[in-house]
Amino acid sequence: MRQLTRNEEYVLLCILSLKENAYLVTIQEYLKKHANNNLSFGTLFVLLKRLEKSRYIESFIGKSTAKRGGKAIKYFKLTKEGYSVLEEIHEIQASIWSNFKLNNYSF
């Protein structure tokens, strides 16, 4: 398993929580809203491409709408590998965090 960057991790989490409705526009909105992380299209595009190449996510083509000028939507969803990567990260982080108590620290 290769080390994921923080942005990649966020994108994976986004796709997880957006369920069936994860594509570039919604992911960007979601990230901005919940993680206060304002990524440009380009960065996001490249991130998605990279994750897809690493097989953590896969894409499928949805329907086209008039709002999109007749262009189809490219949706993303997590693969099994993507999900297990997130699980692993969560485990590691939870175990690390459990040893810390933020409010007890004296300066």
User: Where does this chain bind other proteins (CB under 8 A)?
Assistant: 23-25, 40-43, 45-46, 49-50, 61, 64-65, 67-69, 71-74
**Tokens representing 90?**
């969560």
Closest to other proteins by CB, 64 or 84: 64
Give me the least distance between CB of 28 and other proteins, in Å please. 8
State the minimum distance, in angstroms, from the CB of residue 61 to other proteins: 8
Beta-carbon contacts of 48 under 8 Å, excluding residues fewer than 6 positions away, are: 11, 24, 27, 57, 76
Distance CA 101, CA 79 (A): 34
Cβ distance 15 to 76 under 8 Å?
yes
Shortest approach of other proteins to residue 74 CB, angstroms? Answer: 4
Query: Among residues 29 and 88, whose Cβ is nearest to other proteins?
Result: 29
